């Protein structure tokens, strides 16, 4: 495959680069031009510069220092970062302050992971003549340049300084980020802070770089030196990029987080005992962040005839109705949300318990209010137009599917695609085989199972899995937590290699003190 380059024509025949605007989602007005879209030659330069910086990232202590220093730079610039991100996302300073704290925590967490070294998964099997086995030593090594596509709904934690970038740098992979058009100024600011952090610890600034533009994203995935891709976004966009990555002469891993309905099952006993609590919790969850979380509960299976069913619906509608009107991330998403809700509400036997609609405010003319739809679950259990209700509608709306019996519940669950999460609301005494069977039935549908809680809120923890069967994600990996680093590594075995030619982590005396498994026995590393 050849590298895409700019045409050889002079300025008179070369189309000018398109401007990149920072836009206020509250009004739809341009704020400022922050950049121009990258052309093929710009992408080529960014990827080649990143590849040239890869050797410097082999230094694990310096890599850990980079991650910690990046966190410090972001914190020192917190006021500016939050102000710029709010101007482009309308997510509000309190929410963005929390997101920035999550972002810096992730960076520091990965610094600790790098220093500990367990992620290298070092295994040593000494030669055993009796078994005819040579000396074998395995370690994980960095893939190379990682392309990261920033997410619309998390301008910090899933964008330039977010988990994909942090985990890729931790693995030793330089990163080229494709900025999201919803927050280009935030992307520029955060890139500058990360590049300054690299320089401060003695690394090339090109370990992190940024490009803008739709075509630049395509060129980034196609570039022969791009070794892997991390993506968070729509099913349509993610699948298109996934297919490009797979169709390359040398296919590369594409770790995409795409769409998710995040079903919730409410048992009859739970509805009877906790209707008001469940209704209020559901409303808080699906309106959080104005419904723009990838783990928003979009389909809730409620028992039609259970005691408390009506109270639950009333509680959801009342609590959601009190949620303030707010803008979505951009005008395109706003239009898609409003048309998507209208299309769903127009289906036969769908009740609009709370009408989602435009609701301009003094400061946000493009604000919308949330909606709640209800439908007999039987209509979702068969092919037909109601299958639309089993597709994600991005924004503050949820669908209550009223099931009459366990067979109807099972029929709807059988029609669901893969999800990031699946939630069950149980009664306090539902801890027997029926509840266990319900959970077992949900495991094939989702990457995270939640009981008596809500899926919004994804803890940055070693045990977290943020992913799921397609279309929730395109791989079995997690994009959140310590396990996210594994996406950017591959194992290499060394056979009968002299000690002095091995990586230090594979030496018998373990000079770097990394955890290892030697001849089948685990050996802890040194405490940091």
Q: Looking at the annotation, which residues are catalytic?
A: 257, 294
Contacts of 176 (CB under 8 A, 6+ apart): 43, 46, 47, 50, 145, 146, 147, 148, 209, 210, 211, 220, 226
Cα–Cα distance measured from residue 183 to residue 187, given in angstroms and rounded to the nearest whole number: 6
DSSP E strands, 42-144: 122-125, 136-142
Give yes or no for a contact between 349 and 401, defined as CB atoms under 8 angstroms apart. Answer: no
Q: CA torsion, points 228, 233, 236, 237, in degrees to nearest 10?
A: -50
DSSP E strands, 47-129: 122-125
In Å, what is the CA distance from 151 to each residue of 104, 187, 230, 258? 17, 11, 10, 11
Contacts of 502 (CB under 8 A, 6+ apart): 137, 494
Give yes or no for a contact between 122 and 517, defined as CB atoms under 8 angstroms apart. Answer: yes
Per-position DSSP letters for 433-479, written without gaps between them: HHHHHHHHHHGGGEEEEEESS-S-----STT-----TTTTBSSS--S
Q: How far is CA 358 from the centre of its chain?
A: 28
Cα–Cα distance measured from residue 394 to residue 260, given in angstroms and rounded to the nearest whole number: 10
Size of the chain in residues: 528
Q: How far is CA 505 from the centre of its chain?
A: 31
In Å, what is the CA distance from 225 to each residue of 54, 144, 229, 247, 255? 11, 8, 12, 15, 17
Q: Look up residue 401 and give its two tokens.
A: 């599917």
Nearest to 147 by CA among 25, 261, 285, 256: 256
Nearest to 111 by CA among 66, 76, 159, 151: 66
Give yes or no for a contact between 408 and 381, defined as CB atoms under 8 angstroms apart. Answer: yes
In Å, what is the CA distance from 214 to each residue of 17, 36, 366, 405, 419? 12, 12, 25, 47, 27
Cα–Cα distance measured from residue 388 to residue 57, given in angstroms and rounded to the nearest whole number: 47
Cα–Cα distance measured from residue 425 to residue 524, given in angstroms and rounded to the nearest whole number: 40
């Amino acid at each position: 495959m050849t590298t895409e380059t700019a045409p050889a024509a002079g300025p008179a025949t070369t189309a000018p680069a398109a401007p990149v605007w920072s836009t206020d989602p509250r009004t739809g007005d341009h704020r400022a031009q922050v950049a121009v879209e990258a052309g093929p030659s710009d992408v080529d330069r960014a990827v080649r510069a990143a590849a040239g910086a890869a050797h410097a990232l082999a230094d694990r202590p310096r890599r850990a220092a980079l991650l910690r220093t990046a966190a410090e730079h972001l914190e020192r610039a917190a006021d500016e970062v939050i102000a710029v991100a709010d101007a482009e996302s309308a997510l509000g300073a309190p929410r963005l302050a929390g997101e920035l704290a999550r972002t810096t925590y992730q960076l520091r967490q990965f610094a600790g992971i790098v220093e500990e070294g367990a992620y290298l998964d070092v295994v040593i099997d000494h030669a055993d003549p009796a078994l005819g086995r040579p000396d074998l030593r395995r370690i994980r090594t960095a893939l190379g340049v990682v392309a990261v596509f920033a997410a619309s709904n998390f301008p910090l934690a899933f964008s330039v300084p977010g988990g994909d970038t942090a985990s890729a740098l931790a693995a030793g992979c330089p990163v080229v980020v494709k900025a999201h058009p919803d927050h280009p100024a935030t992307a520029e600011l955060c890139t500058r802070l990360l590049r300054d952090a690299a320089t401060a610890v003695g690394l090339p600034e090109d370990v992190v770089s940024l490009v803008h533009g739709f075509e630049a994203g395509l060129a980034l995935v196609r570039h022969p030196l791009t070794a892997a891709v991390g993506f968070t976004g729509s099913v349509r966009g993610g699948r298109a990029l996934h297919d490009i990555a797979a169709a390359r002469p040398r296919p590369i891993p594409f770790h995409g987080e795409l769409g998710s309905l995040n079903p919730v099952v409410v048992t009859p006993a739970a509805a009877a005992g906790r209707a008001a609590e469940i209704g209020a919790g559901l409303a808080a969850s699906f309106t959080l962040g104005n419904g723009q979380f990838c783990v928003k509960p979009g389909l809730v299976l409620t028992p039609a005839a259970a005691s408390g069913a009506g109270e639950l619906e009333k509680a959801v509608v009342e609590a959601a109705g009190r949620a303030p009107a707010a803008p979505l991330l951009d005008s395109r998403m706003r239009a898609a949300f409003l048309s998507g809700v209208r299309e769903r509400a127009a289906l036969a036997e769908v009740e609009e318990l709370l009408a989602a609609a435009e609701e301009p405010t003094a400061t946000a003319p493009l604000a919308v209010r949330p909606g709640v739809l209800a439908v007999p679950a039987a209509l979702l259990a068969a092919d037909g137009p109601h299958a639309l209700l089993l597709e994600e509608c991005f924004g503050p709306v949820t669908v209550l599917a009223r099931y009459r019996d366990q067979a109807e519940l099972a029929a709807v669950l059988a029609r669901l695609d893969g999800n990031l999460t699946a939630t069950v609301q149980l009664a306090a005494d539902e801890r027997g085989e029926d509840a266990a069977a319900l959970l077992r039935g949900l495991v094939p549908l989702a990457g995270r199972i939640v009981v008596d809680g809500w899926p919004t809120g994804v803890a940055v923890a070693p045990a977290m899995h943020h992913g799921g069967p397609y279309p929730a994600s395109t791989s079995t990996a997690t994009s959140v937590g310590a396990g996210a680093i594994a996406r950017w590594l591959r194992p290499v075995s060394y056979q009968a290699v002299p000690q002095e030619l091995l990586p230090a982590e594979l030496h018998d005396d373990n000079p770097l003190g990394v955890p290892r498994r030697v001849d089948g026995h685990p050996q802890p590393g040194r405490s940091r």
